[in-house]
Amino acid sequence: MRLIPIVGTAVLLAGTALLVNTLRAQDPGQTRQRMIDLGKQHKTAEELYLALKEQAHGGHRLTAGMVPDWSGVWTRARGGITYDPDQKPGAPPTAKLTPEYQAKLMKRIEDADKGIEWDPISTCSPPGHPRWLTEPFLRDFVVTPNQTYLINEMMNDIRRIYTDGRDHIPKEDRYPLYNGDSIGFWDGDKLVIHTNQLHGGIYQRRNPDFTDQAETVEIWQKVKPDLLDVDVWVYDPPALVEPWYTKQAYAKIDDQNKALRIRFWHCGENQNNAVVETEGGGTQFRDFTFDENKPNTTSPTPGVKP
Amino acid sequence: MKSHSVFGIAMAVAMAVLVALAPAVSAHHSATMFEQTKTVTVEGVVKEFQYTNPHSWLLVDVKDQSGKVTTWGFEAEGPSTLQRAGIRPSEFPVGTKVTMTGKPMKDGTPAAVWVLAVRGDGKRFDPREGFRVK
C-alpha cells in the first residue's frame, strides 16, 4: 500500500518533467492548455514549485561565469494593460473565479463601461505582484549568482529573487508585501520562482482582484536574444477555482543609440496628476491648474474645432 | 522565405494592434474623466512642457477671436514613453506653434488626452508610438 503514493508522486514528477521540457516547442494553443493542466495537477503553488525543483534535481546555483545575459532595456511585449496577454479583445479575463470574485469582476467591468472606474494605484501605491508583470513601461533585469533583481521603472519597483538556497521566512512571521517574498532556483537557463506573502490587489483595470493568499510560480527564460518568456501560475483559493496560468513576455528595446534611461519615478511630482476617488467610485482630477492666475475650474473652450 | 514573409506580416499586424490597443494614458489613473469617443482640435502656442511622471502635460495657449487666451493641457505618458515616441522637451520649446488633437474632459475643462500634435513645421507627434515594441 505504501507504494501507491510513492508511485503516484513519481508519476506526477515524471509527468511534470516531461511537460515542462517539451511544451515550449509545441503549438502555442496546445502548450497553453498543457500549462493550465500542469497547474491543476498541483494543489498549491508550493507543490508546483517543489515538483519543478525535484524535476531539476534541486536546481543549481549560478557562478559568475554562468550568469545569463539579460542586459538591456525591456518592456512588456504584448497584452497592453490586460493581465492575460492571450485574453481576446472584448472578452472577459480568462481566470476561473469563485462566484464572489466573479461577481466583483462583473461589477467592475459594468461600472467601467459606464465610465466609473477607480484604480488603487491612483494615489501612488505600487501595483504589486502579480500586477507588476503587466505595467507597460521600461524594465531591466539584473542577474547575479545569488540574487536576481527584476526592476520595473514605474514606482522604482524592484522584485528581489533570492537564488542562494534560502527558504521563505517562517509562516508565523509572514505579513502582506506588495511584491511578496520570492525565492528561486536555476534549471539550466530557466529561472524558477516561487512568491508568497503577497498583498491583495487587482490584476489590472477591468480585471479580477487577488487576495493576500495569492501565491505564484514563474518560469523565466530568454528564448530569443530580444525576448524573455515567462510562464506564470497564480494560486489564490478565495478568488480562483483553479490556478490562473498566463504567458507573459518582455521584449528588449532596440536602443542602439543608448538614449533610453530608467530614471527615478516620483509619482507625486506634478500636482496636475493628482486624482481623487469620487463618491460614486469614479476618478476625477483633484486640483489641477494650467494657469496660476486663472485656475481652470470652469472655462469656455475657444479654438475648439468640432 | 514564404513563411518568413507571413510571419513578418503577422508580426506587423500584431504590433499595429498592440499600439492601437495601448491605452492613451495608462499609468497611475483611470482615463474615465476623458471622453473616449470624441476628439477636439485646437491651435495655439506652447506655454510649457511639464515633462514629468507619471504623466506629462503639454500646455498650449489658445487664443479665441476676441483675443482671449485659454491654456489647454494635453496629458500623455511620462518621459520614457514619450522619448520612445520621439517626443523630447526640445521638440516643444515655449512659443512653438502647434495643432493639438485630443480626447477632451467630460466636464468641459480645457484639458484632453494627447492624441496627436502637429507642429507648425508639419512634424507629427503621437505619444502612443512610445508603446510600440520595436
CATH number of the structural domain spanning residue A152: 2.40.128.20
Find the domain containing A247 and state its range: 61-252
Q: Which residue of B has its CA nearest to A127?
A: B28
Task: Give A154's contacts in chain B (Cβ within 8 Å).
Answer: 27, 54
Task: Give B65's contacts in chain A (Cβ within 8 Å).
Answer: 302
Element (H, E) at B41: strand B40-50
CA distance B34 to chain A (A): 9
Per the rule left: phi > 0, alpha: psi between -120 and 50, beta: everything else, A115 is: left
**Between chains, do A300 and B23 touch, taking CB under 8 Å as contact?**
no
pLDDT per residue over B94-118, tens digit each? 999 999 999 999 999 999 999 999 9
**DSSP one-letter string for A161-220:** EE-SS--PPPGGG---BSS-EEEEEEETTEEEEEEESBPPEESSTTS-EE-TT-EEEEEE
A203 part of a folded domain: yes
Question: Could you tell me if B103 lies within 8 Å of chain A, comparing CB atoms?
Answer: no
Size of interface A-B (CB pairs under 8 A): 150
Decide if pLDDT at A302 tops 90.
no
DSSP state of B98: E
Q: Domain residue spans in chain B?
A: 2-131
**Between chains, do A299 and B23 touch, taking CB under 8 Å as contact?**
no
Find where cell 520595436 sits. B134
Question: Could you tell me if B90 lies within 8 Å of chain A, comparing CB atoms?
Answer: no
Nearest residue to A231 (alpha-carbon basis) of A247, A215, A251: A247
- Mean confidence (pLDDT) of chain A: 89
Confidence of residue A74 (pLDDT cuts 50, 70, 90): very high
Give the Cα separation of B45 and A294 in Å (integer).
18
What CATH number does the domain located at B2-131 have?
A: 2.40.50.140
Q: Crossing angle, helix A28-40 and helix A3-22, to 10 degrees?
A: 150
Q: Is the peptide bond before A130 cis (omega within 30 degrees of 0)?
A: yes
Q: Which residue of A has its CA nearest to B130?
A: A137
Find where cell 494592434 sits. B17
A21 part of a folded domain: no
Confidence of residue A81 (pLDDT cuts 50, 70, 90): confident
pLDDT at A78: 93
CA distance A155 to chain B (A): 9
pLDDT at A16: 57
CA distance B46 to chain A (A): 12
Q: Crossing angle, helix A3-22 and helix A45-55, to 10 degrees?
A: 80
Q: Which residue of A has its CA nearest to B74?
A: A290
Number of domains composing chain A? 1
Confidence of residue A287 (pLDDT cuts 50, 70, 90): confident
Decide if pLDDT at A7 tops 60.
no
**DSSP one-letter string for A124-156:** S----TTGGGG--SEEEEEE-SSEEEEEETGGG
Q: How many helices (H) and strands (E) does chain A have?
A: 4, 13
A276 part of a folded domain: no
pLDDT at A286: 86
Confidence of residue A289 (pLDDT cuts 50, 70, 90): confident
Task: Give A122's contacts in chain B (Cβ within 8 Å).
Answer: 28-30
CA distance A125 to chain B (A): 9
Q: Which of A4-13, A196-205, B11-20 has the highest mean pLDDT?
A: A196-205
Decide if pLDDT at A283 tops 60.
yes
**Which B residues, 52 through 71, put their C-beta within 8 Å of a C-beta on chain A?**
52-55, 57, 59, 62-65, 68, 70-71
pLDDT at A25: 56
Decide if pLDDT at A305 tops 50.
no
CA distance A10 to chain B (A): 41
**Between chains, do A263 and B79 touch, taking CB under 8 Å as contact?**
yes
Confidence of residue A113 (pLDDT cuts 50, 70, 90): very high
What value does the mean pLDDT take over residues A67-80?
A: 96
A264 part of a folded domain: no
Best mutation target among B11, B17, B32 (most A Cβ atoms within 10 Å) is: B32
**Between chains, do A124 and B134 touch, taking CB under 8 Å as contact?**
no
Give the Cα separation of A118 and A243 in Å (integer).
26
CA end-to-end distance (rounded Å), chain A: 79
Task: Give B133's contacts in chain A (Cβ within 8 Å).
Answer: 75, 77-78, 251, 253
Confidence of residue B6 (pLDDT cuts 50, 70, 90): very low
A278 part of a folded domain: no
Decide if pLDDT at A1 tops 60.
no
Question: Could you tell me if B39 lies within 8 Å of chain A, comparing CB atoms?
Answer: no
Q: How many helices (H) and strands (E) does chain B have?
A: 2, 6
Task: Give A121's contacts in chain B (Cβ within 8 Å).
Answer: 28-29
What value does the mean pLDDT take over residues A276-295?
A: 79
Q: Which residue of A has its CA nearest to B31?
A: A283
A141 part of a folded domain: yes
Question: Could you tell me if B111 lies within 8 Å of chain A, comparing CB atoms?
Answer: yes
